[in-house]
Structure 1
Amino acid sequence: MKQLDIKKYTPSLKLQNCIDAYWSVKNIYTKDVQIPIVPDGCMDIIYQDGKILCIGAMSEAFIVSAKPREYTFGIRFKPSVLPQLLKINASEFTDKKVFLQELSLELFSWLDFQELDEQKKVLKLNDIFEKEFENIELNQSITKAIEFIVDFQGNIQVSKLQEQLHLSSRQIERLFQNYVGYSAKKFCNIVRFFTLFKELIQDKKELSLKAYDYGYCDQAHLNKEFKKFSNFTPTHEIMSVFYNTKN
């Protein structure tokens, strides 16, 4: 039985370096639905219960309980982008949620509008954020570091980043704490986990082979890491409820 109505929308071409996706989730079931939220290095702005909230990057998984007919619309920003837009230190908001108006009254005033049609809402948000990002020059060092980690699916040593970016380990750590919310090593682990996690949702077979492919020592190491970041084992059915990527 279908319990959640989940939709995702791609941002405009101009925003695809900044916004990962617009998304919405509605519980269409008659009972509460438990939704696993796993860390991916992103920060979100969400509309929920008439409020607009800023959600910091998550360092570990947690479960949210969606009540019947509960509806959430979100804007998922790519790692490091939202802190630069809001001019905040990302590490101060890791694993936290705050009202957007406490961080930026100006952005809150732009986003505080009513629109039930999601496609129209996405178009309006595209217009708003295209204007917002016109005058923002994103930090190229953190952008390159994140791109490099993602290209290697998180399976990379921080020392390699130092070589590529010509930065000291202290400079790299400061960049990641300020713009992502945790250390470069932890971000690598999260990217590695999340990349494998999405693949496992599509195909749970041959876990031991996938473990080696992603740099884990063995399946036991993979299971330990997976449980640390998700609170579940790779084959647990609940993990595909919200993050199913088959369609």
Structure 2
Amino acid sequence: MKEMIYNEIEPPTQLHSFVQSFWHFENTSSRALHYSILPDGCFDLLVFQDGNTKLTGIWNKKIDISVPKETKIFAIRFKPLAVEYLLESSIKRLLNSSIQNPKNEFVEKMTTQTIKFSEFVAANASKIITILSTGKRMDTRKEKVFDLLFSTNGVVKVSEISEKSCWSSRQINRYFTAKFGLSTKQYANILKVFSTYTDLAKGIVYPQTSYFDQSHFIKEIKKHTETNPKELKKNKNGRFLQLYTQRIK
């Protein structure tokens, strides 16, 4: 029997700017499971079987976690725009951290013991769509900024983002620092490194994106994961959860 179950469901099209995915993780074993989570440029809201919740910030370094035995988690992986249009707040103080039971009117209150994952996804997708349709008007500059960052996997200069979004580089950086605790360039580098995980999961340890050379690639990987590409490729005991789930999808 597998010790863990992991599933992901993509959001409806109208949520693509705000939600990366809905995910389900279950530790079916009789012992705690230990993993390392790598930065992915998103933040998560986790719902546990007792109804408690946890909100994470964006991470720019490896975070080690322990999942207790017989734990079931349903979660929403949010893109940064959700901070402003759903949280209507800032997650700067949650950089590389999390809080328990945040105030979140945008999530249906439910426990993972009483519903199926598909029901969790349907209920929360519907609620988020409703909130967005009745909330404040989208700032097209911010939408363009994140469209550029995600479509290029972070391989884009801040000056180009500024030009195409009609928003000054200084204002963009001020926005990122205030909302997420990171500069625009730091955030772009997280996406750039994250885009290499698919190749690493396949055993490819040479850069497929715009790194100057192999040494630059290794330096950036180490900065964000505290590990070199060869160790990530091996992923001994499935320690790096994102690389492991890339293989079982």
For this structure pair, what is the TM-score category when the shorter chain's length is used for normalisation?
Answer: 0.7 to 0.9
Alignment gaps of 5+ in structure 2 = none
SS in 1 for 2:58: coil
Q: CA deviation at 1:226?
A: 1.2
Q: Does 1:129 align with 2:123?
A: no
The 1-side partners of 2:185 and 2:57 are apart by 18
1:113 equivalent to 2:110? Answer yes
**Counterparts in 2 of 1:146 and 1:70: CA distance versus 1, 3 Å:** same
Aligned to 2:76: 75
Shift of 1:178: 3.5
Q: Secondary structure at the match of 2:195?
A: helix
| Deviation per residue, 1:25-76 (Å, 9 max, x gap) | 1112333222221111212111135311221111211111112212221111
Provide the rounded CA distance (Å) in 1 between the counterparts of 2:16 and 2:117.
Answer: 18
Aligned to 1:171: 171
Deviation at 1:239, TM superposition (A): 5.6
**Secondary structure of 1:245 counterpart:** helix
Q: Which amino acid aligns with 1:189?
A: N
Residue 223 of structure 1 is aligned with which of 209, 218, 242? 218
2:234 aligns with 236
Distance 1:160 1:12 in 2: 29
Distance 1:170 1:38 in 2: 28
Indicate the SS of the match to 2:167.
coil
Could you list the runs of 4 or more consecutive aligned residues of structure 1 that deviate by over 6 angstroms after TM superposition? none
Q: Is the 8 A contact 2:5 2:26 kept in 1?
A: yes
Which has the larger displacement, 153-162 or 175-184?
Answer: 175-184
1:228 maps to amino acid = K
SS at match of 1:6: strand
Residue number in structure 1 paired with 2:99: 98
- What is the percent sequence identity of the aligned residues? 23
The alpha-carbon deviation at position 14 of structure 1 amounts to 2.9
* C-alpha distance in 1 between matches for 2:173 and 2:138: 18
CA–CA distance in structure 2, aligned partners of residues 139 and 171 of structure 1: 14
Distance in 2 (alpha carbons) for counterparts of 1:120 and 1:13: 18
Q: CA deviation at 1:140?
A: 2.0
Shift of 1:176: 1.7
Q: What is the deviation of 1:242?
A: 3.7
Give the aligned residue type for 1:236: K
Partner AA of 1:124 in structure 2: A
